[in-house]
């Protein structure tokens, strides 16, 4: 079951009989927020920009 969940983009919360699965995209987003948690005001914006950049999306802002 765990292999099928991971192949579907979900991470199981238990190795044998998972009752809940978390989106791997959500975990990646949380990791990006955690990396920038010191920047209290712009943490979410920078995390989203990093996440989008890793996925090949171009974020436009005033620094471009």
In a domain, 42, yes or no: yes
User: Residues 5-41: pLDDT tens digits?
Assistant: 999 999 999 988 889 999 999 999 888 877 776 656 5
> Does residue 41 lie in a domain region?
yes
Q: Is 21 within the bounds of a domain?
A: yes
- Could you tell me the two tokens for 13? 């919360």
- Residue 64 domain-assigned? no
Identify which of 43, 4, 11, 45 has the alpha carbon closest to the alpha carbon of residue 25: 11
What's the rounded mean pLDDT across residues 49-64?
A: 78
62 lies in a domain?
Answer: no
Total number of domains constituting the chain: 1
Note whether residue 14 is domain-resident.
yes
Asked whether residue 38 is assigned to any structural domain, the reply reads yes
Q: Residue 48 — pLDDT band, cuts 50, 70, 90? A: confident
pLDDT confidence bin for 62, thresholds 50/70/90: low
Q: Over the range 24-47, which residues count as b (16 or more CB within 10 Å of their CB) and which as e?
A: eeeeebeebbeebeeeeeebeebb
For residue 60, tell me if it sits in a domain: no
Q: Residue 45: give the domain boundaries.
A: 1-55
């Amino acid at each position: 079951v765990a292999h099928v969940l991971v192949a579907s983009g979900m991470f199981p919360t238990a190795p044998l009989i998972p009752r809940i699965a978390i989106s791997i995209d959500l975990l990646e987003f949380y990791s990006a927020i955690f990396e920038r948690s010191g920047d209290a005001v712009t943490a979410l914006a920078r995390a989203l920009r990093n996440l989008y950049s890793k996925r090949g999306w171009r974020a436009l802002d005033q620094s471009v």
